[in-house]
Amino acid sequence: MTQVGKILVLAIVGFSLVFLGISTTVFMTSKNWKEETRKKSDELKKVQKNLTDAKAQVDAAKKELADAQSNAAAQTKQLTDRIRSLEDQNKRDQTDIQDVRGKLVTAQESAKSALDEAAHRREETMTLRTQKSAVEKQANEFKLRQAELIDKIRELERAMSTATKNNSDLREAVAKFTTLLQQNGLPTDISQIKGQENPPPVEGMIKRVDATNRRVEISIGSDDGLVPGHQLNLYRLKPRPEFLGKIQIVAPVDPNQAVGLVVGKTYQGKKIKEGDIVSSTFRNVPRS
């Protein structure tokens, strides 16, 4: 029952009491007052019963009103808490919105930078494409050059194979000639062999002669330019100048002395003596 309904009930009860009073007054003035009294008594009981029922309804309405007020207070508290929660959430949302706005500004700046970078990258890409085309063209030229070089390499490999075979043959020949030179007591050093062609202008003397009169030791050596293979003239001056023959320098050659072997035989089989002269030049010495 609403508040207005409760007020109407109380008004009805009041009007009933007023009507009862008026009815009682009329009844007292009428002839059949007993009957009227009985009727009015019954009506009074009904009115009292209605009043009791109305009080009960009012009490129930008060209880319902108290419950409604309590529920309303609870709901009001819930709504207040909800409003506070929403206000707090709104504040947080506002803060988040500010953060999002800041991030949006940063993102926009980043996007602008990214667009600028992308434009720069596009320019670089166009430049790189141009360079790539030039490089590809150069690569094609290199491929053609490479094919030419490969053909040249094949030709060189064939020439190298031939040269390797020739080198192997030459090595075998050199080994054979080296063995032959060693067997004949000749030097194998090409510089020494070349040196034999042009002996330096030197002159020395015999320091020692072996018992076979074939091997001699002379007083000049490598410091004077002698190498194995050089041939020197052999002669003596006393008691009269005479030519004796030739000697050939053999290895090893010391700085200030060397060993020589008589080439062939001495002139008329004469014996070589210490003090005889050796020279790269030929003196006009008569043969006796």
Domain ranges of the chain: 1-131, 199-279
**According to the model, what pLDDT value does residue 99 have?**
87
Burial 36-46 (b: 16+ CB within 10 A, else e): beeebeebbee
Distance of CA 49 to the CA centre of its chain: 105
CATH class label, 199-279: mainly beta
Residue 252 preceded by cis peptide, ω within 30: yes
Which pTM value belongs to this model? 0.36
Is 20 a residue whose pLDDT tops 90?
no
- pLDDT band at residue 192 under the 50/70/90 scheme: low
Bridge partners, 204 (sequence order): 278
123-155: pLDDT as tens digits: 888 888 888 888 888 888 888 888 888 888 988
Structural contact between residues 243 and 212, judged by C-beta atoms closer than 8 angstroms: no
Distances in whole angstroms, Cα of residue 133 to Cα of each of 36, 76, 122, 139, 146: 130, 79, 16, 10, 19
**How far is the C-alpha of 42 from the C-alpha of 47, rounded, in Å?**
8
Bridging pattern class, strands 231-236 and 277-279: antiparallel
Is 175 a residue whose pLDDT tops 60?
yes
**According to the model, what pLDDT value does residue 100 have?**
86
95-116: pLDDT as tens digits: 888 888 888 888 888 888 888 8
Distance of CA 164 to the CA centre of its chain: 44
- pLDDT band at residue 63 under the 50/70/90 scheme: confident
**According to the model, what pLDDT value does residue 51 have?**
81
Q: What is the mean pLDDT of residues 202-224?
A: 94
Bridge partners, 203 (sequence order): 279
Structural contact between residues 217 and 207, judged by C-beta atoms closer than 8 angstroms: yes
Single-letter amino acid, residue 36: E
